Chains A and B, each alone.
Chain A
Amino acid sequence: MPTKTRMSGNEAVAHAIKQINPDVMPAFPITPSTEIPQFVANMIANGEITTEFIPVESEHSSMSAAIGASAAGARTLTATSSCGLALMWEVLYVAASNRLPIAMAVANRGLTGPLNINAEHSDSMGARDSGWLQIYAENNQEVYDNFLQAYRIAEHKDVKLPIMVCQDGFITSHAVENITLWDDAPIKKFVGEYEPEHYLLREDETMAVGPYAVSNYCMEAKKAQAEAMKRAKKVILEVAKEFEAVTGRKYGFFEEYKLEDAEYAVVAIGSVCGTAKDAIDALRKDGVKAGLLKIRVFRPFPAEEIAAALKHCKAIAILDRAESYSGNGGPLGAEVTAALYRAKCTAETVNMVYGLSGRDVRVEDMEKVYEDLQKLAAGTISYPEYPYIGLRD
């Protein structure tokens, strides 16, 4: 029987780790993900799991140790946030290009400056081109379910790529909410054992990991890596289907909330989507056809599917919890807009930036976004520049 309980997003990730019992976890603490290695260390000390914990002196080292462990053939994970993720930069690419299926729990937090500890997507969005799979969650239930699916996707023979399982720092990582936990036995069966094909500790096969490649070979290696990312799309959906068979919970590339007949749609990532749903329900009572497309999978980016789901809308707001400093909007805005253009979608679009460094977003703020979308569709408002939500004068 599944257990109905309550816990924070960080506890939920730790519970997933407990059920998976991975082989190795190198980690260095950083707010707001610190609790994850803390909980795991407790579980190891209490004999609940047999994971080998490696305390390191920095995040560059935690990712480097994860690469070593994963290359050796171990099911490996780590956790981080913000500047910790930034310090891993160089080695993130090494993990991905060596096709090492490491799982990383990310409690999203803004990069410095000004120095701040609160939710923002600039950390993982900055790593969006590093070759890692990226899956995002709205709440504690989703980050738990996503983590349980992570290794199945990452370790799949058609994929073999590392995966970031992201949630909003503090907003969900530290919020205690209701959650349903699945029984150990069906989850263990669902996740399965890790049986890598090639690994350093395999006696009957000698191999090198991460050697130099001359230009004659490099480009092909990168193309092969990009193809693996594309193949992950099919695997993500297959794993989601199997997960649904075990738990009854449905997952895909994104969630469509009242989107089917929506005239005005918001595209967003993370905890703000719950707030948007409350706004949508209120607006629908007044006859406003509002809807939401909540991104779950950002890497690989499901461009065609997103465009197909939004094509019928009159106006679309794409919300970014990260500033690109490009003068041209945020990363989600750029990618969704490109996807809509390629699909010849004629909806009006606007890219909005919100929630930087934990700036709160209320139901009223989301209602205002839908109001603006109605004006945008009617041609009574235009956006020469991409706007910020809730910016003080």
Chain B
Amino acid sequence: MKQLTEIRWHGRGGQGAKTAALLLADVAFNTGKHVQGFPEYGPERMGAPITAYDRISDEEIRVHSNIYEPDYVAVVDDTLLHSVDVTRGLKKDGAILINTEKSKEEILPLLNGYEGRVFTINAHKVCMATLGKYFPNTPMLAAMVKISGVMDEEVFLKEMEESLQHKFAKKPEVLEGNRKALQMALKEVV
């Protein structure tokens, strides 16, 4: 992995794009990295487009600006493809990850001719099969780890296990579903 990885998340308020960005910063921190995870808010309301960012580095991060030329982009809601220029500034040797129930062929024409790698995941399918409820940030997080290679998948699963145990200490019944969602997402991203 190169020294600094920059990731931009696009979602809608309430979908967990900010949470996914902060979770990624969390697990990356646990593997010894310097991290920065932060949201950019427009109007504070459910459903409005929001952006969140991650910087993951081997060195101290001092810059406090948004990310304009990301290595990776994650799109939590495919309806954003019609209104937000999600590939703007995205590096050609990077990749974009889109949560969609559509096929990659249907998605490609909506990416403004982006020449880098394109990945899709059906987070809805993953969530319904494992959690029974739609929380797209969990599978999106796993898929982003896979496509970006910011950390080893085994290390990621181990770190997530610890953080899930902590987070759901009072709700152990949801642990297994989250575990399965992460594992399934790692396989489902194409």
Chain A residues in the interface with B (C-beta under 8 A): 5-6, 31, 117-118, 139, 168, 170-172, 174-178, 271-272, 274-275, 277-278, 360-363
* Sampled A-B contacts (18; CB under 8 Å): A117-B44, A139-B62, A139-B64, A168-B64, A170-B39, A174-B38, A174-B39, A176-B22, A177-B37, A178-B34, A178-B60, A274-B63, A275-B62, A275-B65, A278-B63, A360-B65, A362-B66, A363-B63
A118 touches B64 (CB 8 A): no
Q: How far is the CA of A369 from the CA of B22 in the complex (A)?
A: 32
C-alpha spacing A228/B62, complex, angstroms:
35
Given A170-B41, A176-B26, do A6 and B63 touch, yes or no (CB 8 Å)? no
Complex formed: what's the CA distance from A360 to B22 in Å? Answer: 20
Distance in angstroms between the alpha carbons of A175 and B60 in the assembled complex:
14
**Interfacial chain B residues near A139, Cβ < 8 Å:** 62, 64
Q: Select which of A170, A177, A360, A362 is within 8 A of B36 by beta carbon.
A: A177
A117 touches B35 (CB 8 A): no
Other-chain residue from B35, B62, B63, B66 in contact with A176 (beta carbon distance below 8 A): B35
Count B interface residues, CB 8 Å. Answer: 21
The contact of B41 among A117, A175, A178, by CB within 8 Å, is A117
Cβ contact of A118, chosen from B34, B41, B60, B61, cutoff 8 A: B41
Contacts of A271 in B (CB 8 A): 64
CA distance A362 to B67 in the complex (A): 9
Contact A274-B64, Cβ < 8 Å, known A6-B25, A176-B25: yes
A117 cross-chain contacts in B, Cβ below 8 A = 41, 44
Mark contacts of B18-41 with chain A using CB atoms, 8 A cut-off: 1 yes-contact digit, 0 otherwise. Answer: 000010011001000011111111
A139 to B34, CA, bound (A): 14
Known: A274-B63, A360-B66. 19 other contacts (CB 8 A): A31-B44, A117-B41, A118-B41, A170-B40, A171-B38, A171-B64, A175-B37, A175-B38, A176-B22, A176-B25, A177-B35, A178-B34, A178-B35, A178-B60, A275-B65, A277-B62, A278-B62, A360-B65, A363-B63
For the complex, what is the distance from the CA of A277 to the CA of B64, rounded to whole Å?
Answer: 11
Q: Are A6 and B41 in contact (CB under 8 A)?
A: no
Structural contact, B65 and A362, CB atoms closer than 8 A: yes
A274 engages B62 (CB within 8 Å): yes
Minimal beta-carbon separation of A84 from chain B (angstroms): 16
Known: A117-B41, A176-B26. A6 touches B65 (CB 8 A): no
When distances are taken between beta carbons in the complex, the residues of chain A under 8 Å from B22 are: 176
Q: Do A272 and B41 touch across chains, with their CB atoms under 8 A apart?
A: no
Q: How far is the CA of A5 from the CA of B29 in the complex (A)?
A: 8
Chain A residues whose CB sits within 8 angstroms of the CB of B65 once the complex forms? 275, 360-363
A222 CA / B110 CA spacing, docked (Å): 66
Q: Among A168, A171, A174, A175, which residue has the most Cβ atoms of chain B within 10 A?
A: A175
Q: Answer yes or no: B168 CB below 8 A from chain A CBs.
A: no
B35 interface neighbour in A6, A272, A360, Cβ under 8 Å: A6
- How far is A62 from B36 in the complex, measured between Cα atoms in Å? 33
Q: Which residues from B are CB-within-8-Å of A277?
A: 62
Cα(A128)–Cα(B63), bound, Å: 27
* In the bound complex, CA of A363 to CA of B66 (Å): 10
By the criterion CB–CB under 8 Å, are B38 and A176 in contact?
A: yes
Residues of chain A with a CB closer than 8 A to B61's CB: 177-178, 274
Complex: chain A residue closest to B23, CB-CB:
A176
With A176-B35, A178-B35 as contacts: A275 and B64 at CB distance below 8 Å: yes
Bound: A275/B60 CA distance, A: 12
Q: Are B29 and A6 in contact (CB under 8 A)?
A: yes
CB under 8 Å from chain A, chain B span 55-88: 60-66, 68
- Check A170 against B29 for contact (C-beta < 8 Å): no
Query: Given the complex of chains A and B, what is the CA–CA distance between A360 and B63 in angstroms?
Result: 11
**Cα distance, A363 to B25, chains bound together (Å):** 22
Chain A residues closer than 8 Å to B62, beta-carbon distance: 139, 274-275, 277-278
Contacts of A172 in B (CB 8 A): 64
The residue on B at minimum CB distance from A171 is B64
Task: Give the one of B36, B39, B64 with max A CB within 10 A.
Answer: B64
Distance in angstroms between the alpha carbons of A170 and B40 in the assembled complex: 8
Nearest first, the 9 A-B pairs at minimum CB distance are A274-B62, A175-B38, A271-B64, A176-B37, A6-B29, A362-B65, A278-B63, A275-B63, A176-B25
- C-alpha spacing A360/B41, complex, angstroms: 12
Q: How far is the CB of B93 from chain A (nearest CB, A)?
A: 21
Measured in the bound complex, the distance between the Cα atoms of B62 and A277 in whole Å is 7
B64-A175 in contact (CB<8A): yes
Within 8 Å CB of A5, what residues of B?
Answer: 29
CB neighbours (8 Å) of A174 from chain B are 38-39
Whole-angstrom CA separation of A272 from B63 in the bound complex: 8
A residues near B25, Cβ cutoff 8 Å: 6, 176
**Which residues from A are CB-within-8-Å of B26?**
6, 176
For A274, what are the chain B residues with a Cβ–Cβ distance below 8 Å?
61-64
Cβ contact within 8 Å between B35 and A170 = no
Interface contact A175-B44, CB-CB below 8 Å: no
